[in-house]
Structure 1
């Protein structure tokens, strides 16, 4: 694709959970855990696109909230009202796109199939191979450690053979496999971005306008549970390990992939198109301890020592999911090879916990 061509772009997942109302501690948290960063990643990617305005870019965004759609319209973005279940609409919009940025629910297979069907039609209509940049997650690498041990299995995004051995039963895997199969058919080039534990409050005019979700998933979930039970906690003994990445760094990974595609550079796609978003890793116990210290300092817990969540608490606070007790270890070697240069690491992640708590309290009050 030449940078001189006019580029039609379709973005899904730019808006999600509203941040304009106080958190409902029990009822809202399972929804948060299932949201797959909707609006947090996509909204940040959209903000980045808008800040780097390209006159040859025609951008269309699927939005489910009419009020947010109106605000985006005022910023010059073409909006189509709809949800991920509106598969016919999504297929039509994808058939008009040269590039689709899919930043919505990583487990919504029907919407991804609709995107792929639309891109297949785009290829038939133009005889040009369109692009899909799809968002998955390092949850696809998880095990069943239940917080009781760390694993020494580390996945490399530059090792296609290793990743091909992932079980089709892993989280997100069925959608990822559909994306890869489409690339193998030849009618689309696919690139899969796999963020890890994303942290940091998103910023920018779209956040200020209340259009996009400023918070991530895992760390806010642990904070909410800790505040709700009056003591920080972890699954099992918290010995499991996850990678981490700052929101600004993961947005830069999308930008790097975008630029490579626009400039027509030959980078890995399809089964060789995995791009991990990680810059360091953490033991979940360290996250729980940091949350505990901050909750105690703010008078929200009597002890700074975290304790193990009971089964009832996992059900109550996380909808029964023990994903926060799993291991997910990886290295973003392919991402770095194509030009990604993340800046913030694990110390920054731990330092981000206090601002997260303060933000939540400000919304509650």
Structure 2
């Protein structure tokens, strides 16, 4: 297959590109900078210059390929609602390009969006859950809303929900943020008893899941790319504290708000998640280290 990949030079997208190429596929990667273009060429991919706001450019790239993996997202939390709407328009544009074809589209979202939808205490969020929509919904639901509208056009589309921690060398997401907070504040903190759980996956395992969904023709509406159902947040803080040589402490209320700032919502997130349907449908078996084993390595603390 010839596959158009957005976010192709990013932490997850670059792993997807490599996995696709190693499996014998051709990749056309979206690049908005010279550095991104050079990185893609070094991996053996072709380059399509543009960004997520260039809808005509996205459609041109998508129209020349047999399938699309949309990993791109503008990670700017200062204007989060705006960038979520940018993603909505990008997904819609990509989907419109595939109308009337059988070519698959994979859209990226997050398991955190269904954390409040589990039917009973102690249950796991499954692929069957649908994200809440409407005025009270989180802005990030825009991507899944766009995927649903694209599916209504008859497009073959699947949503890949990633866990809060997609980890591995080169990670610049939530775990490095926690490490930086611990360095700055002098403590590695968790909220309350720290028993809230984060699902997690190694970036290379996540990349494999994307490829398998693409090759299978995007048969399910939602897939979950989590290797671990839920790692207690307290355990994440404990590894960070050990590695940095700082105390590991429980915080709550104003103290936690002062420590975590805007990230407090995520630090308190309890998101136990199943990927059983994804594994059964795809034959996906994660093979790389879990979050705590990976976090307890020098690459997370160098520099």
TM-score normalised according to structure 2 size: 0.83
> 1:13 is matched with which residue?
7
**SS in structure 2 opposite 1:238?**
coil
> 1:260 is matched with which residue?
216
Change (3 A) 1:276 1:48: same
> 1:279 is matched with which residue?
227
Change (3 A) 1:349 1:118: closer
Deviation of 1:129 (Å): 2.5
> 1:43 is matched with which residue?
14
Q: Deviations over 1:145-190 (max 9, x none)?
A: xxxxx95242221x3xxx236344035222202102211221x101
TM-score normalised according to structure 1 size: 0.70
**SS in structure 1 opposite 2:237?**
helix
Counterpart Cα distance in 1 of 2:208 and 2:57: 29
Q: 2:86 aligns with which of 110, 115, 122?
A: 110
Q: 1:225 aligns with which of 150, 171, 181?
A: 181
**SS in structure 1 opposite 2:158?**
strand
Considering only aligned residues, what root-mean-square deviation do their CA atoms show, in Å?
A: 2.6
Task: Kindly indicate whether residue 89 of structure 2 is the aligned counterpart of residue 138 of structure 1.
Answer: no
| Structure 2 residue runs without a partner (length 5+) | 75-82
Change (3 A) 1:220 1:320: closer
Change (3 A) 1:177 1:350: same
Counterpart Cα distance in 2 of 1:330 and 1:74: 36
Counterpart Cα distance in 1 of 2:51 and 2:275: 32
User: Whose RCO is larger (CA < 8 A, sep 6+)?
Assistant: 1
| Structure 1 residue runs without a partner (length 5+) | 1-6, 16-38, 144-149, 203-213, 262-266
Q: Deviations over 1:303-323 (max 9, x none)?
A: 3x33425322322xxx45521
Aligned residues: 285
Change (3 A) 1:165 1:65: closer
CA contact (8 A) 1:62 1:83 kept: yes
Task: Kindly indicate whether residue 155 of structure 2 is the aligned counterpart of residue 155 of structure 1.
Answer: no
Deviation of 1:12 (Å): 0.4
Q: Deviations over 1:75-129 (max 9, x none)?
A: 5422122222223322332233331110112863334433433442443xxx523
Counterpart Cα distance in 2 of 1:97 and 1:119: 13
Counterpart Cα distance in 2 of 1:328 and 1:337: 21
Q: 2:132 aligns with which of 154, 166, 187?
A: 166
Deviation of 1:256 (Å): 1.5
Change (3 A) 1:79 1:313: same
Counterpart Cα distance in 1 of 2:286 and 2:41: 32
Deviation of 1:69 (Å): 1.0
